Structures are given as structure tokens and as C-alpha cells.
Structure 1
Amino acid sequence: MVNDHTKDVLMDSNGTIVEVEKQVAIDSLPAAVREWLQAQAGKDGKLLEVESLTKHDKLVGYEAQVMIHGKRSEVQVGPDGKPLDHEE
């Protein structure tokens, strides 16, 4: 945990960092990302936690934990606020 935010680091067998998932504040997200994630949660849902997804030192998207009608799910969006073609 860094500054009250979680950070997960995935390394390969050589110790090279392959992926970093870092918790970010919802209000720090780019507007397009925040709007898309809030639309996925809907009016009855809530964004619980958002992480930035970085692979090989490149921001590839954001991943959010969403609570809708008591069910927790995960959604991902690209750094431009558009849906990803595939899960990261």
C-alpha cells in the first residue's frame, strides 16, 4: 500500500516488471474514463475501486470494481474512455 492506495506488481522470472495495477482516485481519472465507468455502474450502482493497468511501462487501461444491486463485478476501459477490444 502506497499513500493509502494499493499497488500490485507482476514480474517475469528474470525480475522484469511486466504489469502494474495501481489504485487511483476516481476523481483523478480522465473525464471520458470516469464517465464510461459511471455509465457501466448505472444510476443504481457504485464504483468501489479503480486501478490503472500498466503493461511494459505503457498505460493500457483502467479496471473498476462495481457494485450493482448487491452484486460485485469488474469492468475495464481503455485510457481514452473507450471499451477495450480484449480484457487486459
Structure 2
Amino acid sequence: MTKPSAAMREPTYFILAALQDEPLHGYAIVKRAQELSDGRVRLTTGTLYAALDRLTGEEAARMAAAARVVRDRSVQSTAATARTAPA
């Protein structure tokens, strides 16, 4: 499971900003990030796809944690119902 990083790096911020309005392919993300950063961020393919992999992994970790919470609540609710059900 990937551990989310504490601070977001500038390239990652502009990748997310580029994707805010609509889905884009790799080259369009690179160009949009460059536009949004006034030319400060010039993403390479390696940087872009490493950041997207990291973000995907972090989202998967958050989703897995949320699923565990839901599953645990369901198990607790089922156990409580079983204890209070008339015999």
C-alpha cells in the first residue's frame, strides 16, 4: 500500500490542475500544466507518468481504507443485530 506524501510537489499540483476541467491525454496534460504555471513547470514524460502512478496508488490506498471502514461497520451492525434479535 502506498503511503500518501505530506506535501504536494509543484508538478503534481499542476498535473491535477490540468485535469480539473476535463480528462486529457499525456501531451495535453504537459501543455496545460505549462500554461497554468506560466511556463515554470515543464513536465517530462517520466515525471508525468510517475506522478500519475503515485496519485493512482494514493487514491487506491484511500479507497481501500474507506472500504475497510464500511466493511467493519457492516460487521459490527450485523453482530449487534444478531445479539438483539429474539431467539
Q: Shorter-chain TM-score: which interval?
A: under 0.3
Q: Which has the higher helix share?
A: 2
More relative contact order, 1 or 2 (CA 8 Å, 6+ apart): 2
Q: Which has the higher strand share?
A: 1
Larger radius of gyration: 2
Using structure 2 for the length normalisation, give the TM-score.
0.25
